[in-house]
Amino acid sequence: MRPANVLTAHSDILAGYAVAGAADSVRLWLLLLATTGLYGGGVVLNDVFDAKLDAVERPERSIPSGAISVTAASMFGGLLLIGGVLVAWICSPLSGAVALATAISALLYDSWGKHHSVWGPLNMGLCRGLNLSLGLTAALLAPFAHWPAALVTLCYVVGITALSRGEVRGGTRIAASISCVWLIVSLGALVALVYPQGQRGAFALPFFALLLYRIGKPFWRAFRSLSAPRIRSAVKAGVLSLIVLNACIAAAFAGLWCGIAILLLYLPAFLLARLFAVT
């Protein structure tokens, strides 16, 4: 289920909740539970679809190593996805609709999208953009007013996913360049999102600086070497830094302490990333 990654999905929900200005804690907990099922189910089924490939490239993973059967993993992943959608529907029909769109997008990526160099990164970015939008649904009209927040996440994840295609055999200069362009676009979109918040936008500055620090060095190393280990390191840093990105967004809309609260997820995510695979 990639436990560290699930915490980054939780940060998406928290950022969307902060942007929406919602105050219903029950809805927040339901949405956090929903994204646990959606993200967990998506990555479990990703391993199901990749079982034959992983038997060659990553035999240590759960299915090729024999720790769990394809049938059991399929049932588990499917139940997680269905459960995520149902819990979101309990929150509201709008939340349920966004969760259903997220589940469909995840299945599309697992089964088809990831094999395409152009659609794959866009598909994964759409999954994460929809996940932040799920947090926005804590306030019913917020997704229509604050959709650009999800666009920031979408562009950022497209950049990470474009680079991740070289995790096993190494990358190409073209893929690394495309990744850098998308990341720059996401940072520009983040500035455009935060700037209109005026004085509150200043709360985002320390998180923005931290984000640049966390992704700058590993992505530059990956761009220079294009080796598989460097790319895996950069992708891991990029995935975990989604928490920093979301803290930045939340701070601009809901204040410094909200950003700090989300940033606190980074430590458990970092520790879990040392025990479980991130990429």
Query: pTM score, two decimals?
Result: 0.95
The yes or no reply on domain 3-273 and CATH 1.10.357.140 is yes
Per-residue pLDDT of the chain (279 residues; tens, 9 = 90+): 899 999 999 999 999 999 999 888 999 999 999 999 999 999 999 999 999 988 888 888 899 999 999 999 999 999 999 999 999 999 999 999 999 999 999 999 999 998 888 899 999 999 999 999 999 999 988 888 899 999 999 999 999 999 998 887 888 899 999 999 999 999 999 999 999 998 889 999 999 999 999 999 999 999 999 999 999 999 999 999 999 999 999 999 999 999 999 999 999 999 999 999 887
Report the alpha-carbon distance of residue 175 to residue 164 in Å, rounded.
9
Residue with tokens 């497209």: 158
Nearest by Cα to 17 from 127, 119, 108, 143? 143
Q: Determine the number of helices (DSSP H) and then strands (DSSP E) in the chain.
A: 14, 0
Domain ranges across the chain: 3-273
